[in-house]
Structure 1
């Protein structure tokens, strides 16, 4: 019996689309570079162009469209609720007032830009990493010599967010079985607090059981992954195409100054 547990993909045919066959290391590199570029741009033309490019890449990865749109709409709802107050707190030229609070033109522009950038980043992540399994993600990070502790932490995060989600669904189903209906009253808020508390307590208890189970299996702080094969010509072609697209986006950013 081997001393260390070695993680390898269950199947080499689990990914679909043109993006799914690209080396994980190249996909992680492209994600980081494009994300840094997106948060650095100042013109809305470059951001919109990046969203279009990322949307095309998402289409090439052949995702589950219903799940993809649900994720995007969920993120947009959170961003909208967060940015709703930004025009009223950002100084600048007044456009309109609501109950005596002035909304500035600069604040509206910043809110729109942040919303566009957030969508561009989420589309980029879904395009390059959406079809990448957790094991392949870990192998790619180790192949790029990313610190082992960070890789292990990310692996646990990816794995147990889904576990916590299923635990939440189990608790919600138990509440519905007891005829609970969410309303805007004191009882509903109290039950929601109990739900969050039980989720945290259950997560803590489960984490202790997981730690002991992993120690019994010889876990000593990090995972061992099988080595990735040498990059193919298609991987280098993909990297070249992404470099050309990035140069075009940088040129667009240089030619289109910010509105404000």
Structure 2
């Protein structure tokens, strides 16, 4: 980076520590969650390896909230439109306001924060990489501001790059949080029916429904095969024998999956399947559903208008 014709701000020790803490906060939060999750495991299961279980999408369908009583088609359309508007934001304060809006939506949905925080933890690696790389690699133009840390004077940080990275982090976290009220507040069948009402092909919705159902079945099959391999003395190592054994196990799993798929399809045909599933009773779209959808989109539009007309921190 060239520091000619730029404003250089030399941070003190305390300010540098605070800045680094804010940059590394996503990594720290993910590490704390992993440690807490490990401590909550029963003593006998701590050596069993990580839990690769697949989360159930419609885990919080039995509750009552503004999102649970919302017709899925209107809810999906409104939240997707709001997500696209949030992605269009350019400045950090309005992106942070969108993040607060998404957090408020999760809170109003009445669901536990465990799943949303896990979703954010899954994004931590990529987002932390952006927060570290963009301030170091962002181009410095005339009139830009550069931050210098006392112990990293040879690595100036671009303030514009830092603001851009934090804006991306806020927008990504806001959209990720909005996915929870959209997908977890109705049964998967109703959610897919909502997508179908918006134009999703029926064959694709059936594929998603079957995949979500039988991916858990194949997961249990894989766990049974893993237990049987351990009973026979198999211990995973980094050698060719382990790779051969794992390849054979995955091959058997694919064969069993294919055979089970054929049996399931034949059972469906014997029960009168003709290309469509009997759907649930559809909810009628009420004026309150449209009011909620319009209000949510208007709030997102206000954020976008404020971002364009009142840019507080433009990079």
Match of 1:151 among 200, 205, 212: 205
From the superposition, tell whether residues 96 and 206 of structure 1 become closer, same or farther in structure 2 (CA, over 3 Å).
Answer: farther
CA distance in 2, matches of 1:128, 1:44: 25
CA distance in 2, matches of 1:57, 1:66: 15
- Structure 2: segments with no counterpart, 5+ residues: 1-60
**Is contact 1:45-1:256 (8 Å) kept?**
no
Aligned: 1:62 with 2:110? yes
Q: Which residue of 2 aligns with 1:8?
A: none
CA distance in 2, matches of 1:48, 1:128: 20
**Is contact 2:222-2:253 (8 Å) kept?**
no
Q: CA RMSD in A?
A: 3.9
**Is contact 1:43-1:259 (8 Å) kept?**
yes
Q: Which residue of 1 aligns with 2:196?
A: 142
Query: Quick check: 93-102 or 137-146, which moved more?
Result: 93-102
Aligned: 1:238 with 2:292? yes
Q: How does 1:42-191 map to 2 (within 5 A)?
A: 42-81=90-129, 84-92=132-140, 95=147, 104-159=158-213, 187=237
CA distance in 2, matches of 1:189, 1:152: 41
Q: Which residue of 2 aligns with 1:20?
A: 68
CA distance in 2, matches of 1:143, 1:205: 36
- Structure 1: segments with no counterpart, 5+ residues: 1-12, 182-186
Match of 1:29 among 56, 77, 87: 77
**Is contact 1:15-1:21 (8 Å) kept?**
no
Structure 1 or 2, whichever has the larger Rg, is 2
Query: Quick check: 16-25 or 187-196, which moved more?
Result: 187-196
From the superposition, tell whether residues 99 and 251 of structure 1 become closer, same or farther in structure 2 (CA, over 3 Å).
Answer: closer
Aligned: 1:38 with 2:92? no
Residue 163 of structure 1 and its aligned partner are, at CA, apart by 5.4
From the superposition, tell whether residues 92 and 141 of structure 1 become closer, same or farther in structure 2 (CA, over 3 Å).
Answer: same
Q: Which residue of 2 aligns with 1:259?
A: 314
Residue 156 of structure 1 and its aligned partner are, at CA, apart by 4.4
**Is contact 1:96-1:104 (8 Å) kept?**
no
SS at match of 2:172: helix
CA distance in 2, matches of 1:64, 1:110: 31
Query: Quick check: 107-116 or 54-63, which moved more?
Result: 107-116
Q: TM-score, normalised by structure 2?
A: 0.61
* Equivalent residues, number: 243
CA distance in 2, matches of 1:46, 1:244: 15
